[in-house]
Amino acid sequence: MKLVELLAVERVVAPLDSPTLADAARRLAEAVIASDRARDADSLRRLVGEIRPREIVPVGSQGCMIQLRTDAVSRLTVALGVAPKPVPRKAGGTKGVRVVVLVLAPPKEASAYLQVVSAVGRALGRRDTVSALLAAQKPADVLASPE
């Protein structure tokens, strides 16, 4: 399973201009909603607005994955954003990431969810993939990445 196989152009935000990771998560959730993958848009917005630290996983030096199990989506969904400058976890923070991946899955899709989390981890652990993502200027560039 490759990262690009999990994405669709409408769920890729590039460039992702966000002052904080919470804002980046909101923007990715809105992309999911706009792509008609949300069963309950209001619940998804509320859930993303209440992300807990344990749901944010650093992946490599440039990325993080926000992983949520929720019935607010009808099926496993991945959204990805590439920021032109590091996005800090909180306002005023000094460290940040440039690749943010939002993984959403209904509880009944536990097996597929774990496979996707693993695939995202592998992809963001590869230098060539991260370099290609960081060079992306638009969503189509992300989908053309090697992983």
Its domain, for residue 72, covers 3-143
* Residues 48-58, mean pLDDT to the nearest whole number: 93
Q: pTM value?
A: 0.94
The CATH number covering residue 73 comes to: 3.40.930.10
Tokens in use for 106? 């209904």
Q: Into how many domains does the chain fold?
A: 1
What does the H/E/C string look like for 52-99?
CHHHEEEECCCEEEEEEECCCECCCEEEEEEEEEEEECCCCCCCEEEE
**Residue-level pLDDT at 81:** 98
* Residues 72-82, mean pLDDT to the nearest whole number: 97
